[in-house]
Amino acid sequence: MENYMKMEIAARSENESFARSAVAAFALTLNPSLTELSDIKTAVSEAVTNCVVHAYRDNEENAKILIECKTETLPVQAHRGDRCEKYGVIHITVADLGCGIEDIDKATTPFFTTLQDDERSGMGFTIMQTFMDEFSVESEKGKGTRVRMTKKIKATENGEVKERVNA
């Protein structure tokens, strides 16, 4: 069965922890492990931070971030060797209507940043890629950027039903 949530927030750094906690709270319906939950928080945090620091750097008027999450609670089957594991899935989209990215390949290269002197590591996209199972970026100059990420949530841990994590 599918479930979803959509939200719009002002692109301000003080909303970053709210956004990551809101997505994590929504993900709880899939009964994630603490590690899975913290992977999601880390990735969302990087995506939202990028909207705040990069997307609206030339025009802060009407700066907003749109976040959508969709979960598939019906376990998705995945074969690992001769073991069959069951998964739920969360799809997360973080979008802005800002300046856009000219060269996505370059932007997603580890350590590439356009804000070198500003404490940015250039590792945001790499972190999203590493912590999530699927990752893609769409962007149009002057129109905005959309990051899509998917995380598989294991339905069981070594065949056992997992401990439930609370918000």
Find the shortest distance in angstroms from Cβ 41 to ligand ADP.
16
Say which of 16, 36, 46, 72 is annotated catalytic.
46
The answer to whether 120 is a known catalytic residue is: yes
Candidates 11-19, 27-35, 66-74, 118-126: pick the segment binding ligand ADP (CB under 6 A).
118-126
The answer to whether 57 is a known catalytic residue is: no
The answer to whether 15 is a known catalytic residue is: no
Q: b/e per residue, 110-130, with b = 16+ CB within 10 A?
A: eebbeeeeeebebebbbbbbe
Active site residues: 46, 50, 120
Chain residues that interact with ligand ADP, rule: CB under 6 A: 46, 50-51, 54-55, 96, 98-99, 101, 107, 112-115, 120-125, 145
